[in-house]
């Protein structure tokens, strides 16, 4: 199973944004089994419910990774599994999505609350806005946002709100500090949702892990720059395998 990588998607946009990255990884190493696991269709915002479902569904001893919310869940599951997880990689995933006094490098709580209110009143309009935020900073931001939205599942308010409440509840600092396996965390230089300061704050918290920055890229860099991201991941996997 150490040649198996499970990728978890982000909030609201389904698995399609990770498909080009998965294809690029398979092209670099045909021996690597890359799978994209949809997030559980839960109405709960309790992280334990999500982790229980993922733990039951995902194979043991695989590499765990994910984009944004998916990366945060992968971090928590990696810590829960410990030696039963080969390693962890996250893509544009903050340790806290919503800022707190102890973690200011995140979305301001007021901004998040306004976004959540918008989702409760008009989920479709909010998802469209989210796609634009994900694409902010890309070379072709409008084209990328259309691509994200075009492949997204039909928005349903309750699961989307549960996912937002989960985002607000998660804090992966303890999980990352407790997980002893190899870790790679990739951030985007022009991310409109995760402040650039999150990368340096993570490095200060855990100076011995691998952190990379995709310059001049958006939050949706797994879709925007799949081959570049795949090369960074593949290099990390090979290094970790040699240790």
Residue 191 annotated as catalytic: yes
Other residues' Cβ atoms within 10 Å of the Cβ of residue 146: 15
Closest by alpha carbon to 141, among 91, 107, 192? 192
Instruction: Give the H/E segment covering residue 186.
Output: strand 183-188
Residue 145 annotated as catalytic: no
Do strands 183-188 and 87-91 pair parallel, antiparallel, or not at all (unpaired)? Answer: parallel
Please identify which of the residues 93, 219, 238, 242 carries the catalytic annotation. 219
The C-alpha atoms of residue 118 and residue 163 are separated, in whole angstroms, by: 14
Please identify which of the residues 68, 93, 145, 218 carries the catalytic annotation. 68
Please identify which of the residues 93, 145, 171, 191 carries the catalytic annotation. 191
Closest by alpha carbon to 236, among 96, 92, 95, 90? 90
The C-alpha atoms of residue 227 and residue 90 are separated, in whole angstroms, by: 16
Tell me the HSE value of 94 on the side-chain side, using a 13 A CA sphere. Answer: 24
Residue 124 annotated as catalytic: no
Q: Which two tokens stand for residue 19?
A: 């498909």
Cβ–Cβ under 8 Å, residues 66 and 168: no
- Catalytic residue ranges: 68, 191, 219
């Amino acid at each position: 199973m150490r040649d198996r990588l499970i990728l978890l998607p982000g909030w609201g946009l389904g698995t399609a944004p990770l498909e080009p990255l998965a294809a690029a990884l398979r092209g670099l190493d045909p021996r690597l089994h890359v799978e994209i696991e949809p997030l559980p269709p839960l109405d709960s915002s309790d992280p334990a419910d999500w982790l229980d479902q993922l733990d039951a569904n995902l194979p043991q001893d695989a590499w765990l990774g994910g984009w944004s919310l998916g990366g945060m869940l992968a971090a928590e599951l990696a810590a829960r599994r410990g030696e039963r997880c080969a390693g962890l990689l996250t893509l544009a995933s903050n340790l806290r999505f919503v800022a707190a006094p102890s973690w200011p490098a995140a979305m301001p709580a007021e901004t998040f609350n306004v976004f959540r209110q918008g989702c409760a009143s008009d989920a479709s309009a909010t998802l469209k806005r989210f796609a634009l935020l994900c694409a902010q900073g890309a070379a072709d931001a409008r084209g990328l946002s259309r691509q994200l939205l075009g492949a997204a599942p039909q928005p349903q308010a309750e699961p989307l709100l549960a996912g937002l409440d989960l985002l607000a509840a998660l804090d992966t600092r303890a999980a990352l500090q407790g997980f002893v396996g190899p870790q790679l965390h990739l951030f985007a230089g022009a991310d409109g949702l995760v402040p650039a300061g999150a990368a340096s704050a993570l490095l200060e918290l855990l100076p011995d892990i691998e952190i990379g920055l995709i310059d001049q890229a958006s939050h949706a860099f797994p879709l925007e720059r799949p081959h570049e991201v795949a090369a960074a991941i593949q290099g990390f996997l090979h290094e970790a395998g040699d240790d």
